[in-house]
Amino acid sequence: MSDAASPITPDVVAAHGLSEEEYARVLHALGREPNLVELGIFSVMWSEHCSYKSSRLHLKKLPTEAPWVICGPGENAGVIDIGEGADGQKLAAIFKMESHNHPSYIEPYQGAATGVGGILRDVFTMGARPVANMNALRFGRPDHPKMKSLVKGVVAGIGGYGNCVGVPTVGGETNFHKAYDGNILVNAMTVGVADADKIFYSAATGIGNPIVYVGSKTGRDGIHGATMASADFDEKSDEKRPTVQVGDPFTEKLLIEACLELMATDAIVAIQDMGAAGLTSSSVEMATNGKAGIVLDMDKVPCREEGMTPYEMMLSESQERMLMVLKPGKEPMAEAIFRKWELDFAVIGEVTDTGHMVLTWQGETVCDIPLGPLAEDAPLYDRPHLSLEDYKAWAAVAPLGDVPPSADLGADLVKLMGSADLASRRWIWEQYDSQVGADTLQKSGGDAAVVRLHGTTKALAISTDCTPRYCYADPYEGGKQAVAETYRNISAVGATPLAITNCLNFANPQRPEIMAQIVEALRGMGDACRALDYPIVSGNVSLYNESKATGGGSAILPTPAIGGVGLMEDHSVMATIRFKAEGEAVFVIGQSNGHLGQSLWLREIHGREDGAPPPVDLAKERAHAEFVRQLVAEGKVTAVHDVSDGGLLVALAEMALAGGIGCTVEEIGDHFTAFGEDQARYVVTSAVAETIQAAGIPMTRIGTTGGSAIRGPGFAVELAELREANEAFFRDWMAV
C-alpha cells in the first residue's frame, strides 16, 4: 500500500503529535481528509520545533531592529553590518544559535555533531563563510551514571565535526545541575562573514524557475526528528535512536565550498538548508516566503536506500543537503560545480503560481497542500501562565535568611575553583581546533572569544551565556541577566556589543508554571535588549525539555541561552583577563553589595539554592560597560574581567591563574564581598592608576598584583594550590 492510500485513524494522528483540535485545523485547511504524506507534512510543520506555536506570540514582543541590522528573525540566520573590509567592501556578520538537545541525549556523538553541522548550514546558506563556532552545554550531576559518557560523547561530537569541517570552535560554556540529569542541553552557535551586498535569502520566486537538490543523498535517518524534539522524554527514549541524524563533516566541507563557489555567480534565486523536517520545511518555507507554489517530482530525489517512499523522503533529516531555486539555464553550470566537489545534484521541481505544494511520484499526485493555510492556519497558542508573583510562590525558593560566616575565605575559594561549574574546561577545549583559519585571537578561558576579520584591523567578539539558577528563582531578572552578561563579556575585551541570537530552552509549555518562565524570561530579555541597544536578530526555541527517563523525572531549569556578537575596530588594543605584571593597581568597577542569593558560594559551600538572584540595573550595565570600553580603547587598563559566577574573589583567582601572577587585596574582608554576585561589575588592572578617571562610575582600588598567592585580610592561597584544584575536576573525572 502506498503512503497516499494508508488509512488515517485517530491513532495515526496521535502518533504524528497532532491534537484533535489541530487535526480539525488540517481538515479545514485541506477541505478533505489528508493522506499519510500530507499528514506527515502538517505534523512536522506544525510541531513546536518548526512552528513555535507556544512561543510565537511572545517572541513578537522582542526588539529586533537597529540601524546596523540588515536582516532580523525569519531567515536562516541574523545579519548585521560590520563596516568595511580590507578592500573597502562592506561586510556583514551572519550568526545564529540552535539546539540539538533531545538527539544529543539519545546519541551524544551524532546528536552534537549534527547540531554543529546544522547551524553551519544555516549560516553559509546565506552566503557567509563560517569563521567561528561556539557552544553552550548543560549536563546533569557528574556522579549520575550516564553523565560521563554523555559529556564525552557530546564533546567528541562537537570537536569531531567542527575540526573536520575546518571552522574553529573558539569558546562556550558548560554547566552542571541535577535538573539536566535526564535532559541535557546542547546549543551550538556559528558566526560567519559575508559581503553585505551578496547575502542570499530563502524566498522562492520566478514562475518556472528550477528547484534543485544538492549535497548528500536522502536516507531514512532522522525521520520524525522535529516531532521528537517537540515531545517530552520517557523511559523509552533510547528507542528513538533512529530519529537521530548521522552527519559527515567532510561532505559538509565540500558543500560549503561548492555553495560559496556557486554564490559567486549570478545563478541563485533562493537557497535554504534542509534542517529540521528536511525537504518538507525547506520547500514549504521557500515557497511560502516567495508567495509562490512548488511542484516536486519525488522520483528525482537522490536516495541512498532502496524503496524509499515520498513520506520518508519528505520527512528525512539526512544531513548535508540544500535546496535551491536557480535562474533558468543555469543548471548545467551549477551541476558542474557540484559534480566537481563530488556532491549530488538533481533538478527535482519548479516554482509555480498555484500557491500549492504538489508532489508527484510514479505518475501519481501524492500530495497537494495549499501553502497559505499550512502557514496561516498553523496553531498559535496563548497558553495559560502564572503571574511572576504566583510563579515565585510555586517555585518556592527559600528566602536567603541568615548566612553563616565563612570559616576560611581561602579554603572556600579553593573549593569553588575546584567545583564542576568553575573548574578548568581545558579537557573540553583541548579537543577543539580553535586555531584553524589562523584568525583566532582569544579562545576559551577569557570573557569573550575574539576572531580577526582577515586582512583588517577589525575583529568579532563572541560570547554565550545564561545563568539558569537565576532564571529559575526569578525568570524576569534571569532573562535580563543572561543578556547583560554577554554584553559585559563582549565589552570586557574592548568590543562594542551589536546584537544577539538566542536558544530558548524550557520544559513543557502546557504547564502554566513553565509558560510563566518563558513569558517572564522573554520580558526580561526584551527589556535588557532595549536598554542596551542590543537587538535580537535570530534564534531558536527548544521546548519540552522534560524527562520521565530514569534519573530525570523533572523539568530542566529555564535556560534562555544568549549568544552575543560585538565588533572591535582595532584588535591591537584588545583586553584579556590575565594579570600582566607585578605592582599594578587592581580596581573594581561597579558597586559590591555582597549579594549571596543564588550564588555559587551558597550552593557549593552550604548546599543551598536559596534567595533571589542579584538584581540587574540596566542603566548601570550600559554605563559601566561604556566606561570599560573607553579604558580599553585608551590603553589605560592592562587586564579586564567581568565579575560573574563566584563573585569577586573568583574573578581575581581566574585573572591570577591566567597570568601566573598573584595579588594582595585589602578590601575583601568577609564572604559577602568575596563571593557576592552583584552585577555590572568588572575587575581591571592598571599601571597608570592615577590617570584613570571614573567619571561618576563607582570604582574602588582593592589591591595590587604580585607574588605567587592571592592574599587578603586573614587568608592566603598559593596559585599552585588553586591551579591544582581548578584542573583536577575534569582530569580526575575523565581518568577513571
DSSP 304-373: SSTT--HHHHHH---SSEEEEEE-TT-HHHHHHHHHHTT-EEEEEEEEESSSEEEEEETTEEEEEEEHHH
Q: How large a percentage of the chain has pLDDT more than 70? A: 96
The Cβ of residue 52 has, within 10 Å, a number of other Cβ atoms equal to 20
Strand-pair category, 559-568 with 364-370: unpaired
Residue (of 635, 628, 625, 640) closest to 576 by Cα position: 640
Pick the catalytic residue from 49, 385, 624, 671.
49
Strand partners, 212: 324, 347
* pTM of the entire predicted model: 0.94
Q: Which three cell numbers stand for residue 663?
A: 595579588
- The answer to whether the CB of 446 falls within 8 A of the CB of 654 is no
Name, in order, each residue with C-beta under 8 angstroms of 313's C-beta and a sequence gap of 6 or more: 218, 279, 298, 301, 303
Residue 551 has what pLDDT?
A: 43
Q: What is the mean pLDDT of the chain?
A: 92
pLDDT per position as a tens digit, 508-543? 999 999 999 999 999 999 999 999 999 999 999 999
Pick the catalytic residue from 16, 28, 58, 100.
100
49 is catalytic: yes
Mean pLDDT of 233-250: 60
- The answer to whether the CB of 575 falls within 8 A of the CB of 639 is yes
Residue 241 has what pLDDT?
A: 41
Residue 227 has what pLDDT?
A: 47
What stretch of H or E contains 24?
Answer: helix 20-30
What are the angstrom distances between the C-alpha of 307 and each of 311, 361, 590?
11, 12, 66
177 is catalytic: no
Q: Which three cell numbers stand for residue 245?
A: 541524524
Residue 628 has what pLDDT?
A: 97
pLDDT per position as a tens digit, 623-653? 999 999 999 999 999 999 999 999 999 999 9
Residue 669: pLDDT over 90: no
In the numeric block, the cell 542579584 is attached to 614
SS3 state at 644: coil
Q: How confident is the model at residue 230 (pLDDT cuts 50, 70, 90)?
A: very low
Strand-pair category, 356-361 with 293-297: parallel
Q: How confident is the model at residue 243 (pLDDT cuts 50, 70, 90)?
A: low
Residue 372 has what pLDDT?
A: 87
Q: How confident is the model at residue 661 (pLDDT cuts 50, 70, 90)?
A: very high
- The answer to whether the CB of 189 falls within 8 A of the CB of 95 is yes
**Residue 315, amino acid:** L
Mean pLDDT of 63-86: 95
Report the alpha-carbon distance of residue 463 to residue 95 in Å, rounded: 12
Q: Which three cell numbers stand for residue 690?
A: 592615577
